[in-house]
Structure 1
Amino acid sequence: MKIIHLCLSCFYIDNYRYQENELVREHVADGHEVLVVASTESYVDNLTLGYVAADEYMGSDGAKVIRLPYVGPVPFFLKKKLRMHPGVANILKDFSPDVIMFHGLCGWELLTVAQYKRANPHVRLYVDSHEDANNSAVGKLSQVLHRYYYRPIIRRALPWIDKVLCISLETIEFCKRQYAIPMQDMEFFPLGGYIADDVTYQSHRTEGRAALNLQEDQTVFLQSGKFDSKKKLIESLTAFTATHSEKLRFLIVGRVHESIEQQVAQFSSADPRIQYLGWKTADELYRLLCAVDVYVQPGSQSATMQMSICARCPVVIADVPSHEPFVKGNGWKVSNQEQLSNAFASIEKDPSVLSGMSQRSLEIAYDLLEYRRMAKRLLV
């Protein structure tokens, strides 16, 4: 089949393991002809979101990538919000896809693909949504854009969309309220991950623990991300340092914002069980998650949570609606410091409970998060 992934309302970043990358990679692996059409938004120097030059090249996920510039008679800060791009209709016509996956509801080119679907009703058109009340229509300009620009576009395109695929339960609610999308037109389609087979998993685990000089009887926690106060790393470290067992370890992976850098350093110097590993690539992080025993995320949401479940980790994560499908006998949902501390204390008291929770995470991963299965969903 011919499949086109349009990443014009979101970023597309080579050499990463975001949803867009994984779905493209799976479609290529299955032998389909795949094209990615993306905006110029990407990581610059592999560090921060920025903008690269328009280009055509073979992407790291195995598909040709066409990066299109933003256009329009307005300043750039508005162009990147309006999300108009040249030549999309011609690209669709020339490629003649069987399936269109439009990543991100909010952008002008949704009208272009809807028009193409209207003229070619046999084509399957899916649109995914990552929007929710935490990340969209928050500021004044954003509220205006969502109400008077994105919403009318979505409403006009909706009759030609086969399904709006929402990454979370909060996204479903937001789309229903903000854009008046009927429930029957939406489907839960979470961010997923790669699930290693038993041999590969055990290899990652053995090699990772050996590299970190971790003993088999040690229980290892890991928290990752770009750490600011919203990630609640300080709260995690406070709860961890209230434990006393020398068989517990806490690994920090990512970048620490200067606003909490000094506090993190104080925790690390005061407790030798805490180790800061710095930034890791997605593949390195996945192997680390296979090596540790518990993934911790009591603050703002991150796709690493899904990755950790695919790596068979029990979890200690924030008690928010979007996490509801992912914590069912495989960890703890926490909403305050007391609950977070109690989770650490429970694990310290009886780490043997983690074995069954690990197996449960694996089951949840196969049920909800396997990108191979999710990629096939887009073909029907």
Structure 2
Amino acid sequence: MKVAHLCLSCFYIDDYRYQENELVREHVESGHDVLVLASTETYRDNMTLGYIAPGRYMGTDGAIVHRLEYSGIGPFFLKKKLRVHSQVSALLNQFQPDVIMFHGLCGWELITAAHYKSLHPEVLLYVDSHEDANNSGVSRLANLLHRYYYRPIIQRALPWIDKVLCISLETMDFCRSKYGIPDEMMEFFPLGGFIADDTTYAKLRSKTREALGLGSHQTVFLQSGKLDVKKRLVDSLKAFSSTTSENFVFLIIGRLHASIEDEVGYLSSKDSRIRHLGWKTADELYEFLCAADVYVQPGSQSATMQMSLCARCPVMIADVPSHQPFVEGNGWKTSSVEDQIAAFDAVEKNPAILDEMSIRSFEIASKLLDYRRMAARLLS
């Protein structure tokens, strides 16, 4: 089959393991002919969003990528919000896809994709949504765009969309209230990950723990991401430092924002069990997650949480609606430092509870988060 991934309402980043990358990679590995149409927005220096030159090249996920510049009149800051790209229609007509996966509801080219579907009704058109009340429409300009620009576009395209795939329950609420999308048009389609088989998992776990000098008796907690105030790493370290077990280790993976760097440094210097490993690639991070015993994420949401479940980690994560499907007998939902302290205490008193929780995380991941299954879903 011919599958077109349109990453024009979101960034597409080579060498990463975001949803867009994983679905493209799975479709390529399954033998399909895959095309990626992407904006010029990407990460620069693995840290901050920026823009690169338009062009065509073979992407790291195995598909041809067309980077398209923003079209239209007006200043750049507005054009990158309107998300108009003049070449999309011509490229779709040239490629003639059987399936279009449009990543992100909010952009003008959704109309182009819907128009192509109207001319080719046999084509499957799926649109995913990552928007929710926490990350969309929070500023005055963004709210105006969502109400008077994105919503009319979505409503115009809706008759031609087969399903709106929502990454969380909060996203479904947002799509319902902000864009007027009916429930029967939406489907839960969470961010996923790679799920290693038993042999691969055991090898990765053993290799990484050995490289870290960790014994089987040690319990490893891990927190990662672009670590700013919202990630609440400082709270995690304060709660962790309330424990006394010499068998506990807390790994920090990622770059520290300047706003927390001093406090994290101070807390780490007081507790030799805390190790900051710096930034790691997505593949390296997965190996560290396989080596970990508990993934910690008490603050803002991150796709690493789903990756941690795929690596069989019990979780200690924020008590928010979007996490509801992912914590069921495999960890703790926390709202405060006190909640985290209670979770750390529970592990300190009985580390063996993590064995059953790990099995449960694997079961949840296998059911909800396997990108191989999710990629196949888009073809039917």
Fold shared by both chains (TM-score > 0.5): yes
Does residue 255 in structure 1 map to residue 255 in structure 2? yes
Instruction: State the alpha-carbon separation in 2 of the partners of residues 105 and 36 from structure 1.
Output: 16
Contiguous gaps of at least 5 residues in structure 2: none
Does residue 361 in structure 1 map to residue 375 in structure 2? no
Instruction: State the alpha-carbon separation in 2 of the partners of residues 258 and 22 from structure 1.
Output: 31
- Alignment partner of 1:227: what SS? coil
> Which residue pairs with 1:176 in the alignment?
176
Instruction: State the alpha-carbon separation in 2 of the partners of residues 236 and 46 from structure 1.
Output: 24
RMSD: 0.5
Does residue 90 in structure 1 map to residue 90 in structure 2? yes
> Which residue pairs with 1:18 in the alignment?
18
Instruction: State the alpha-carbon separation in 1 of the partners of residues 137 and 73 from structure 2.
Output: 24
> Which residue pairs with 2:319 in the alignment?
319
> Which residue pairs with 2:217 in the alignment?
217
Instruction: State the alpha-carbon separation in 2 of the partners of residues 123 and 225 from structure 1.
Output: 37
Instruction: State the alpha-carbon separation in 1 of the partners of residues 143 and 121 from structure 2.
Output: 33
Superposed counterparts of 1:27-38, under 5 Å: 27-38=27-38
> Which residue pairs with 2:266 in the alignment?
266
Superposed counterparts of 1:27-176, under 5 Å: 27-176=27-176
Contiguous gaps of at least 5 residues in structure 1: none
- Alignment partner of 1:329: what SS? coil
The offset of 1:87, in angstroms, is 1.1
The offset of 1:304, in angstroms, is 0.1
The offset of 1:45, in angstroms, is 2.7
> Which residue pairs with 1:329 in the alignment?
329
How many residues align structurally? 380
Superposed counterparts of 1:225-304, under 5 Å: 225-304=225-304
Q: Which amino acid aligns with 1:67?
A: R
Instruction: State the alpha-carbon separation in 1 of the partners of residues 73 and 64 from structure 2.
Output: 29
- Flag as ranges the 4+ runs of structure 1 deviating above 2 A: none
Does residue 198 in structure 1 map to residue 198 in structure 2? yes
Instruction: State the alpha-carbon separation in 2 of the partners of residues 297 and 108 from structure 1.
Output: 35
Instruction: State the alpha-carbon separation in 2 of the partners of residues 41 and 2 from structure 1.
Output: 25
Instruction: State the alpha-carbon separation in 2 of the partners of residues 228 and 289 from structure 1.
Output: 20
Instruction: State the alpha-carbon separation in 1 of the partners of residues 271 and 89 from structure 2.
Output: 59
Instruction: Note the alpha carbon deviations across 1:137-166, whole angstroms, 9 max, x for none.
Output: 000000000000000000000000000000
The offset of 1:43, in angstroms, is 1.2
Instruction: State the alpha-carbon separation in 1 of the partners of residues 375 and 257 from structure 2.
Output: 35
Share of identical aligned residues, percent?
68
Q: Which amino acid aligns with 1:231?
A: K
Instruction: State the alpha-carbon separation in 2 of the partners of residues 237 and 5 from structure 1.
Output: 40
Instruction: Note the alpha carbon deviations across 1:323-358, whole angstroms, 9 max, x for none.
Output: 000001100001112111100110111000000000
Instruction: State the alpha-carbon separation in 1 of the partners of residues 36 and 91 from structure 2.
Output: 11
Instruction: State the alpha-carbon separation in 1 of the partners of residues 208 and 351 from structure 2.
Output: 20
Instruction: State the alpha-carbon separation in 1 of the partners of residues 136 and 43 from structure 2.
Output: 21
Q: TM-score, normalised by structure 1?
A: 0.99
Q: Which amino acid aligns with 2:319?
A: D
